[in-house]
Chains A and B, each alone.
Chain A
Amino acid sequence: MNHHPSPVTQDAELRAPESPKALFLAFNRLSLRGFGGVLPLAQRTLVEEERWMTNSEFVETLSMAQVLPGPNIGNMALMIGDRFFGLRGSLAAFTGMLAAPLAIVMTLAILYAGFSEQPQVAAALRGMGAVSAGLIGAVGIKALLSRMPDRTGWAVLCATFVLVGLMRWPLVWVMLTLGTISVALTWNKGQKK
């Protein structure tokens, strides 16, 4: 992991949120601005606008959030909230991020239920579903481009794709078998260095 001190945010300039309410409002804001993914807006809001953390702290928190199960941005909200105000901060950040979007998505779903019989609405949704496939595929390919796996990594990646995507294995078996093998191989390589 790289720790580049960000030129934008020196430690001296860092602020702390005034209250759990400030956390709630900031996460609410970044969440409502994020269509099709909240992470880029989280970085902008938390690091550049509010200056609650440096960029390297943001990346560190993100990598921890990614390793753990759960939505990355949700985990980040919990961790950042916890850092400033303990459990109260976690709850404030997390509900701030989720409450308004939840209301919006439910409203959309209810409105949509009234129109789903119309072939044009169904066709539009199918088109949007096709975009979703592309967006998710692109996240995977971008991850590959930013960090190419070694030979073992490629083998694990392809095995995951075949077992889950083509053979539709239950994920729990894939995680238990491939996950254990992959972590063991990575551990082994780390020991040799």
Chain B
Amino acid sequence: MSFADIISLFTHFMMFSLLSIGGAITLVPEMHRFTVEEKGWLGDYEFTSSIALAQASPGPNILFVTLIGWNAAGTLGAIATTLGIILPSSVLALYANRWAQHRADRPLVKAFRGGMIPITVGLLLATAWVLAEPNLDKPILMLISLVSLTLTIRTKLNPLWLIGGGGLAGMLLGG
């Protein structure tokens, strides 16, 4: 990857940062479209395993962004995507919070909050779909997704068990 590509990676992730209402995970479809489909910097499998590895390790899920950068362009890529996704939203959060603390009851603040909820939820469901869709012809993987979906809704099981179980099932049943 050329230096211009690294800059492009950085600026795109800065833009993603400002769009990431509901968390960076809602931008998975968009990151996939840009890095995999449009640029071909990494493959489907590397993209999905970036997310899986980040979820399998402790800490905020946003670290999957670091791994996407790493898989796309090594260390420089990891720095570009991580700083890109963190800086704009963090500066905004800090100052918007100071601003809004004095204006919490304004109708526009309330309308924004209420109006963005269905979009956030729709994005979460679209993200699940984008991750599951390549597995439509692999019944075992679809079953793993459905079981983890159901268990997460019905029980308070620590996701770590599901991720470990999913890895084991994939290994034994040849996902």
Nearest CB in chain B to that of A76: its residue: B93
What is the bound-complex CA distance between A139 and B26, given in angstroms? 11
A68 close to chain B: CB less than 8 A: yes
B108–A69 touching, CB < 8 Å: no
B170–A190 touching, CB < 8 Å: no
CB distance from B70 to the nearest CB of A (A): 6
Within 74-115 of B, Cβ neighbours of A (below 8 Å) are at: 78, 82, 86, 88-90, 92-94, 96-98, 100, 107-108, 110-115
Within 133-172 of B, Cβ neighbours of A (below 8 Å) are at: 135, 141-142, 144-150, 152-153, 158-160, 162-163, 165-171
Residues of B within 8 A of A186 (CB): 110-112, 114-115
B11 close to chain A: CB less than 8 A: no
A182 close to chain B: CB less than 8 A: yes
Within 97-142 of A, Cβ neighbours of B (below 8 Å) are at: 97-98, 100-102, 104-106, 108-109, 112, 116, 120, 122-142
A-B Cβ contacts below 8 A, count:
357
B56–A108 touching, CB < 8 Å: yes
Scoring A72, A152, A158 by chain B CB atoms within 10 A of each residue's CB, the highest score goes to A72
What is the bound-complex CA distance between A170 and B19, given in angstroms? 11
How many chain A residues touch the partner (CB < 8 A)? 94
A75 close to chain B: CB less than 8 A: yes
Which of B89, B124, B147 interacts with A134 by CB under 8 Å?
B147
Which of B88, B96, B107 interacts with A191 by CB under 8 Å?
B107
Nearest CB in chain A to that of B46: its residue: A116
CB distance from A30 to the nearest CB of B (A): 10
Which of B111, B119, B135 interacts with A156 by CB under 8 Å?
B119
A171–B59 touching, CB < 8 Å: no
B153–A143 touching, CB < 8 Å: no
Residues of A within 8 A of B132 (CB): 130, 133, 137
By DSSP majority rule, is chain B's interface helix, strand, loop, or mixed? Answer: helix
What is the bound-complex CA distance between A35 and B63, given in angstroms? 12
A15 close to chain B: CB less than 8 A: no
A70–B170 touching, CB < 8 Å: no
A70–B89 touching, CB < 8 Å: yes
Known: A67-B112, A98-B60, A137-B149. A131 touches B144 (CB 8 A): yes
Interface residues of A (CB under 8 A from B): 31-38, 63-75, 78-79, 82, 87, 90, 94, 97-98, 100-102, 104-106, 108-109, 112, 116, 120, 122-145, 147, 149, 152-154, 156-161, 164-166, 168, 170-172, 174-175, 178-179, 182-187, 190-191
Beyond A36-B61, A138-B149, 4 additional contacts (C-beta under 8 Å) are: A36-B160, A69-B92, A71-B61, A87-B94
Interface residues of B (CB under 8 A from A): 15, 17-27, 29-30, 33, 37, 45, 48-63, 66-67, 70-71, 78, 82, 86, 88-90, 92-94, 96-98, 100, 107-108, 110-132, 135, 141-142, 144-150, 152-153, 158-160, 162-163, 165-171, 174-175
